[in-house]
Amino acid sequence: MKPLRTPAALVAAELVPLERLAALEAVAARYAVSLTPDVLDIIHSDDPADPIARQFVPDPAELETTPEERADPIGDDAHSPVEGIVHRYPDRVLLKLVHVCPVYCRFCSRREPVGPHRRRSLSRAALARALDYIRARREIWEVILTGGDPLVLSPRRLREVVSALADIAHVKIVRVHTRVPVVAPARITAELIRAIKAPGKATYVVLHANHPRELSSRARAACARIIDAGIPMLSQSVLLRGVNDDPDTLAALMRALVENRIKPYYLHHGDLAPGTSHLRTTIAQGQGLVRSLHGRLSGLCQPAYVLDIPGGHGKSPIGPTYLGRAASADDEDRYEIEDFNGGRHLYPPAPARR
């Protein structure tokens, strides 16, 4: 079975009713659509609020752009010295190899530049310039392969890029950001895994997953193949209204990741990508949800809740915070710290009696 790439195909698959076809054609004319067979398998099509469908099936609400939303919500363009490179932080760069993905997430922060209407991948000349940029800067310790989704590339092409990076002495880490293990797990072959393992360097794979159901048996097996080959895995998730914005779903997601040897790394607050306000929570809601994980779940299950500051200023952790200055003037040099049950304590505490 092939991916579904048009609203008509979604209607034929009974994922959306015929009367929504015209509205969804308008959305698809603006933002790419694709659902893989593995995604279709985990959608409960009898549930109109299905959290998997909500991530991939277009919605007419996407045609409403709010004033604060922007085409480049995390400010990649401001930090792109050469095509394909985003150099925002001193010791690492993004290397955007492709502009396509097996699926198109409705909340994607790069929804304007990604899609089949764009050039599929970086040209050979542009890739050579991007590698030259990395070679010339000894401060670049880590290269993050992203896109689009880099694991749509063939193992041969991936091996070329990863080998070229491994040959650069100051590059010690190659990190791959991908959704492929959950949306197209059959692509995770032994050949592809060998291709992304940087000789003599550390390769990490960061999986994008937002709901526990995404960790299907095939997805779990794909992740196990990566980890068993000696590549550690981390995860990143996006906090999404109607998908994972309740404590039990978020807890189940984090636990499922850890049970599969994937360390939760980031929980992203939804970016201000155009037409995504119906999928964003407030920061206060996000902090409440993260607080619900603290104390209740193992420390292994705790991602950092982060916001990519619009304008390209990078990510910052956004709480919740537990530490403040003590309220009483008598304690002005002390802190007040809250425990996971809501109890408050002064730090340092009163001197111990001897």
Gap between the Cα atoms of 347 and 354, Å rounded: 19
The 124-153 site mask, x for binding ligand SF4 (CB under 6 A), equals: -----------------------xxx----
Which two tokens mark 304?
């950092």
Gap between the Cα atoms of 129 and 135, Å rounded: 10
Gap between the Cα atoms of 211 and 348, Å rounded: 40
Site for ligand SF4 in 191-220 (CB under 6 A): 208
Catalytic residue chosen out of the listed positions 20, 54, 96, 110: 110
Binding of ligand SF4 by 179 (CB under 6 A): yes
Interface region with ligand SF4, contact rule CB under 6 A, candidates 1-9, 108-116, 165-173, 275-283 = 108-116
Which two tokens mark 176?
């791959």
Binding of ligand SF4 by 110 (CB under 6 A): yes
Binding of ligand SF4 by 188 (CB under 6 A): no
Q: Which is nearer to ligand SF4, 237 or 260 (CB)?
A: 237
Catalytic residue chosen out of the listed positions 20, 38, 54, 101: 101
Instruction: Kindly provide the b/e burial profile for residues 93-121, where b requires at least 16 CB atoms within 10 angstroms of the residue's own CB.
Output: bbbbbbbbbbbbbbbbbbbbbbbeeeeeb
Q: Which is nearer to ligand SF4, 76 or 245 (CB)?
A: 76
Contacts of 231 (CB under 8 A, 6+ apart): 193, 196, 197, 203, 204, 205
Binding of ligand SF4 by 268 (CB under 6 A): no
**Given 10, 52, 101, 144, the residue binding ligand SF4 (CB under 6 A):** 101
Catalytic residue chosen out of the listed positions 31, 50, 72, 105: 105
- Relative to beta strand 315-317, strand 304-308 is antiparallel
- Tell me, yes or no, if 105 is annotated catalytic: yes
- Tell me, yes or no, if 263 is annotated catalytic: no
Give me the phi and psi of 207, to 5 degrees please. -90, 135
**Given 52, 53, 97, 105, the residue binding ligand SF4 (CB under 6 A):** 105
- Tell me, yes or no, if 301 is annotated catalytic: no
Gap between the Cα atoms of 270 and 281, Å rounded: 7
Report in angstroms how near the CB of residue 116 gets to ligand SF4 at its nearest.
11
Q: Which is nearer to ligand SF4, 73 or 147 (CB)?
A: 147
Binding of ligand SF4 by 104 (CB under 6 A): yes
- Tell me, yes or no, if 149 is annotated catalytic: no
Q: Which is nearer to ligand SF4, 116 or 295 (CB)?
A: 116
Catalytic residue chosen out of the listed positions 5, 92, 129, 137: 92
Gap between the Cα atoms of 234 and 117, Å rounded: 31
- The footprint of ligand SF4 (CB under 6 A) covers 101, 103-105, 108, 110, 114, 147-149, 179, 208
Q: Catalytic residue numbers?
A: 88-89, 92, 101, 105, 108, 110, 271, 308, 315
